[in-house]
Amino acid sequence: MPAMPRRLRVGVPTSSRSTPATPATAVPDSVVDCGIYVDGVRVPGEFTHDEAIREVRSTGRGFVWIGLHEPDVRFMETLAESFGIHELIAEDASVGDQRPKLEAYDTTLVLNIYSVQYQPHDSLSEVNEIVTIGEVMIVLGRDFVVTIRHGDFAELAGIRAELEFAPQRLAVGPAVVMHAVADRMVDNYTSVADAVELDVDALEAALFTPRADVDIELIYLLKRELVELKHDIAPLARPLHRLSADHLDLVPTEIRHYFRDVQDHHTQVAAEVAALDEQVTSLVHAAVAMIGVRQNTDMRRISAWVAIAAVPTMIAGIYGMNFEHMPELSMEYGYLYVLVFMVATCAVLFWVFRRNKWL
């Protein structure tokens, strides 16, 4: 996600009490944006994470939303100390490589989601991978939400702007951000699955085109990508079920209803990816069968030519033994007769094999 420009926000309605912070502390490169939201409206000004959380907790109003991109351990330890986040969360956030899961701590919820991105291409033979994988972690507290991104996934860039244009949604609380990110991720799963489906359909059409020569490695490439995609998407089902069904204190009832909708969409896309995986498995079997048929055809063709070549080879071998007393050696036109017999026999064999479609 490209870093959003850091600027003083003007012309935005503010709450009855807003205190711009003095930008005295250098902001780490890993911080994409940090804002305070009161009654769903962003407080003008730039804040460090310390200033933002102190402002919210001193007034008892609003929440902090900070977006990070691949933060290091030192910064996460500082953030965890300021926000009251468990040290294990800070460690996982800095290292990344976490499976999709939902973890509940004393006052914090952590949702890990894989992000997927389709790599556009004109032909499957031009790429080594079709889908790239990233990771997003959402840390939810009563008065803060932290979104942490690993990888070059750009779909989160517009979520903050969209929510800021809908203050009535942000007014519900920081759980709205967790829902918005999960919803965008699942929608992106659907877009990626639809794009991969076009690749599968194109390869299927090429495979069953008469006299087509399809590289089976392209089918294996699709199979590998779909297996990885299925393994990245499927584990999210249980976290979404918990967010939609369990009575988690940090997730209001209204937001649980929205998570149920996300869960439905996730179920649909998981089924679509599973169906595509089965379809590509069928393509693998079909390609292997076609290779077997092609090999049998080649073997028949080779056998036919060997049979044709065997006739003159046998005759030439007999008359090449150079024995003194052999029949027909003294015939005036014997050499011509043998040549005509060889050609005629080979022609008959060629006609028979051609008629039986061996040649």
DSSP 234: G
Closest CA to 230 of 312, 148, 116, 330: 116
Distance in Å from the first CA to the final CA of the chain: 60
Residues 282 and 303 in one domain: no
Residues 199 and 341 in one domain: no
Residues 145 and 104 in one domain: yes
Query: What CATH number does residue 326 fall under?
Result: 1.20.58
Identify the pLDDT of residue 127. 81
Residues 272 and 162 in one domain: yes
Identify the pLDDT of residue 349. 84
139: in domain: yes
Closest CA to 191 of 88, 280, 107, 268: 268
13: in domain: no
Q: Which helix (H) or strand (E) holds 32?
A: strand 31-38
User: Which of these three, 290, 305, 328, is where a domain ends?
Assistant: 290
Identify the pLDDT of residue 7. 32
Closest CA to 68 of 37, 30, 109: 30
Identify the pLDDT of residue 4. 36
Identify the pLDDT of residue 3. 37
Residues 223 and 311 in one domain: no
Query: What CATH number does residue 236 fall under?
Result: 3.30.460.20
Residues 260 and 313 in one domain: no
23: in domain: no
Distance CA 14, CA 37 (A): 9
**Residues 6 or more apart from 343 whose CB is under 8 A from it?**
none
3-state DSSP percent of the chain in helix, strand and coil, to 5: 55, 15, 30
- The residue range of the domain holding 145 is 31-290
Task: Walk along the chain (359 residues) and give the pLDDT tens digit of each residue.
Answer: 333 333 323 233 333 334 444 444 556 778 888 999 999 999 998 899 999 999 999 999 999 999 999 898 899 999 999 999 988 888 888 887 888 999 998 889 999 999 998 888 888 877 888 888 889 999 999 999 999 999 876 667 689 989 999 999 999 999 999 999 999 999 999 999 999 999 999 888 888 887 777 788 888 899 999 999 999 999 999 999 999 988 788 999 889 999 999 999 999 999 999 999 999 999 888 888 877 777 787 788 888 888 888 888 887 887 777 666 677 667 777 777 778 888 888 888 888 888 887 77
Residues 85 and 95 in one domain: yes
Identify the pLDDT of residue 320. 73
22: in domain: no
Residues 223 and 140 in one domain: yes
User: Which of these three, 254, 273, 290, is where a domain ends?
Assistant: 290
Identify the pLDDT of residue 26. 57
164: in domain: yes
Are the beta carbons of 17 and 11 closer than 8 angstroms?
no
Identify the pLDDT of residue 312. 85
Residues 334 and 279 in one domain: no
Q: What is the pTM of this model?
A: 0.76
> What tokens appear for 92 in the block?
């996982």
Residues 116 and 182 in one domain: yes
Tell me how crowded residue 33 is: count the other CB atoms within 10 A of its CB: 17
Identify the pLDDT of residue 184. 92
Q: Which helix (H) or strand (E) holds 296?
A: helix 253-319
Residues 145 and 259 in one domain: yes
15: in domain: no
Identify the pLDDT of residue 15. 36
14: in domain: no
8: in domain: no
Tally of structural domains, the chain: 2
**Residues 6 or more apart from 303 whose CB is under 8 A from it?**
358
Read off φ and ψ for residue 142, nearest 5 degrees.
Answer: -70, -35
Residues 254 and 298 in one domain: no
